[in-house]
Amino acid sequence: MSSQQPPPLRPAPDTALSIAFVITGLGTGGAEMMLEKLVSNLSPSIEVHVISLTGLGAIGPRLQALGVQVEALGMRPGLPSPRLFARLVRRLTSLRPNVVHTWMYHADLLGGLAARLAGVRALMWGLRHSNLDPAANKASTLRVVRLCARLSAWLPQRIACAAQRAREAHIAIGYATDRMVVIPNGFDLTRFVPDSCARADVRTQLGLPDGAPLIGMVGRFDPQKNHRGFATAMQHLLKCRPDVHALLAGDGVDSSNQDLMRWLRDAGAVDACHLLGRRDDVPRLMSALDVLVLPSIGEAFPNVVGEAMSCGVPCAVTDVGDAADIVGALGRVVGSGDMAGLAAAVAELLALPAPARQNLSSQAQQTIRQRFDIAVVARRYEDEYRSMVAATRRPD
């Protein structure tokens, strides 16, 4: 199915650079939201098209509101359609983009092959995953990963990794090292800022007692996000800080989730946890927190950590993906799976005196501003796109 296009709002391009982004879907995951941020911050002179292999999701309409041409092929997840693949080839042939940039494994494979068949030589794959453990991934996904590894020395011109750990994990499984470049995620520093009014408002809405410590976990319900581990960490934390409250937000993170509710009941943490489900006001929620908690067992570049730090919130994280690199000395890092250690790290951050917390908050904001401003990250992608196009124009 195709989406109807609104009138274009982006200025007409004044340079010969057009990019077709091909992505598996447009839900509210980290890759999809990073695509939205990147598209929003590319130079206005660049012509952009976005093609979803599946549906429009929540991000598609938001991109259309920016004047971006977005369409959805309507493939069923996990069931590639030869007919719709042929349609993707025809669409790329019609668009004739200078660059095709694919996002997520199925799009890397199908979008990459379609780009080649459409005559596009400048192809970038996107890798955003760092845990390829069979226990944490679908067997069908790992089959696609292994196939991509075999094609990686031939199909893409560049492979953009969101994190150094993602690069290392994919090299270990056979991806071509010489095609890889690490470009971290970026953050919109106009949205993620400290907000004392939002902090007070969110706490009032949750009915928190004055001065109650509030920690948070923001992320969809997924085995790699490790909500079960968060419940275990809460069990440990409540023993030393019975006054603590926790805010949990993300797709599937609500009271109708029977597994999550059972884990929280077993941990004795139901009354201390506020389950908000999917939210569109994450900057407000971040500003309300005293500590952001990342209990994940698999990440590449966890967006929520940078978003929290942009809001001046210290983070306690597991050592997954590039989380430790983002946090540095401005938070606490424990081993993956160490939920007792994670609880102790949260307790340590909550116990900091007010001046120390304020200093940590200011340094966290400064670090994100210097290293991960989305405007800077977008320019890095543009440099790669232009370098790829220039390489394809050189005589063999």
Residue with tokens 């909500």, as numbered in its chain = 227
Confidence of residue 307 (pLDDT cuts 50, 70, 90): very high
- The structure tokens listed for 221 are 């319900």
Percent of the chain with pLDDT over 90: 81
Q: How far apart are CA 23 and CA 75, in angstroms?
A: 12
Write down the pLDDT at residue 10: 44
Q: Does 314 have pLDDT greater than 80?
A: yes
Residue with tokens 């081993």, as numbered in its chain = 335
**Model confidence over 355-387: pLDDT tens digits?**
999 999 999 999 999 899 999 999 999 999 999
Overall average pLDDT of the 277-301 stretch:
93
Percent of the chain with pLDDT over 70: 95
Q: Does 13 have pLDDT greater than 50?
A: no
Confidence of residue 104 (pLDDT cuts 50, 70, 90): very high
> Residue 100 CA to chain centroid, in angstroms?
20
pTM: 0.79
**Model confidence over 90-99: pLDDT tens digits?**
999 999 999 9
Write down the pLDDT at residue 395: 60
SS3 262: helix
Q: Does 8 have pLDDT greater than 70?
A: no
8 Å CB contact between 88 and 49: no
Write down the pLDDT at residue 167: 94
Q: Does 27 have pLDDT greater than 60?
A: yes
What residues have CB less than 8 Å from 61, skipping those under 6 apart? none
Overall average pLDDT of the 217-231 stretch:
95
Phi and psi at residue 65, to the nearest 5°: -65, -20
Write down the pLDDT at residue 396: 53
Enumerate domains of the chain plus CATH numbers: 18-186+374-393 (3.40.50.2000), 196-371 (3.40.50.2000)
Overall average pLDDT of the 313-336 stretch:
93
Q: Does 9 have pLDDT greater than 60?
A: no
Overall average pLDDT of the 160-184 stretch:
94
Confidence of residue 127 (pLDDT cuts 50, 70, 90): very high
By mean pLDDT, which of 1-15, 24-38, 39-53, 337-351 is the weakest? 1-15
**Model confidence over 31-76: pLDDT tens digits?**
998 999 999 999 999 999 999 999 999 999 999 999 999 999 999 9
Write down the pLDDT at residue 83: 95
By mean pLDDT, which of 134-138, 228-232, 243-247, 288-292 is the weakest? 134-138
Q: How far apart are CA 66 and CA 238, in angstroms?
A: 45
8 Å CB contact between 218 and 252: no
